[in-house]
């Protein structure tokens, strides 16, 4: 019978897949209690890698590892390695109701950041599109200063900034804890656009 107290070091990459699975099973079994109960009696340690040393994420979708640079577990979504401790998240803000036509004005909504946040993407959407006129444009500010070098736009007859001919450019991605945020609608075309939402996408820092 295998000695359950012996936990072999099992790297994520192994030349022989069958042997790799056998070692993983043995390592997991070593962490299980000896009385047959379901719970584990000891942690199952993850193989440690630096950020640069992590294996190719596309080959290990669903796998877990430990990133020594982040001091956190990471998992592969098949594209990249993502910190379990700091997953991607989004704040969504409604600016007006779903039916009232939006007007151009500053400070359409104001709020404060609940914690420091690194912005990786920003979006806007409408429930009702405008059909003509100048492009619907939105600015976002932190402490009265814009965080965008190219503002958010929603093209005519569209409901989302994702399809805009000119995508937004984030010039200030680091949003500080308790920062005073504000949203301006800088221009609209023909009236009728309604149901504006703003999405701040990123990670807590």
What average pLDDT does the segment 100-106 reach? 96
Contact 138/130 with Cβ under 8 angstroms?
no
Cα–Cα distance for residue pair 137/151, rounded to 1 Å: 7
Q: pLDDT category, 204, cuts 50, 70, 90?
A: confident
Read off the pLDDT of residues 33-51 as tens digits, 9 standing for 90 and up.
555 555 666 777 888 999 9
Whose tokens are 């669903």? That residue is 62
In 154-178, which positions are buried (b, 16+ CB within 10 angstroms) versus exposed (e)?
Answer: bbeebbebeebeeebebebeebeee
Q: pLDDT category, 9, cuts 50, 70, 90?
A: very low
What is the percent of the chain where pLDDT is above 70? 80
DSSP state of 55: P
Average pLDDT, the chain: 86
For the chain, domain boundaries: 1-45, 49-82, 89-204
pLDDT of residue 22: 62
Q: Is the pLDDT of residue 23 over 90?
A: no
What average pLDDT does the segment 157-163 reach? 97
Q: pLDDT category, 7, cuts 50, 70, 90?
A: very low
Q: Is 157 helix (H, G, I), strand (E, B) or coil?
A: coil
pLDDT of residue 2: 45
What average pLDDT does the segment 175-189 reach? 97
Contact 2/26 with Cβ under 8 angstroms?
yes
- Return the CATH class of domain 89-204: mainly beta
Cα–Cα distance for residue pair 110/203, rounded to 1 Å: 21
pLDDT of residue 3: 45
Whose tokens are 């939402």? That residue is 197
Alpha helices in 75-172 (DSSP H): none
pLDDT of residue 96: 92
pLDDT of residue 110: 98
């Amino acid at each position: 019978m295998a000695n359950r107290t012996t936990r072999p070091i099992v790297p994520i990459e192994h030349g022989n897949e069958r042997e790799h699975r056998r070692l993983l099973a043995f390592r997991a079994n070593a962490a299980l209690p000896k009385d047959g109960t379901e719970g584990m009696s000891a942690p199952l340690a993850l193989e440690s890698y630096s950020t640069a040393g992590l294996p190719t994420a596309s080959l290990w979708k669903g796998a877990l590892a430990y990133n020594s640079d982040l001091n956190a577990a990471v998992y592969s979504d098949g594209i990249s390695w993502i910190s379990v401790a700091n997953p991607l998240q989004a704040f969504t803000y409604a600016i007006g109701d779903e039916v009232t036509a939006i007007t151009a004005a500053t400070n359409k909504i104001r709020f404060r950041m609940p914690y420091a946040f690194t912005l990786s993407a920003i979006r806007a959407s409408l429930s009702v599109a405008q059909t003509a006129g100048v492009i619907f444009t939105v600015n976002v500010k932190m402490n009265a200063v814009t965080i965008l070098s190219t503002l958010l736009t929603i093209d005519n007859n569209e409901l989302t900034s994702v399809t805009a001919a000119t995508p937004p450019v984030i010039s200030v991605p680091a949003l500080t804890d308790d920062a005073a945020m504000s949203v301006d609608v800088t221009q609209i075309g023909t009236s009728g656009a309604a149901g504006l939402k703003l999405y701040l996408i990123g990670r807590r820092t």
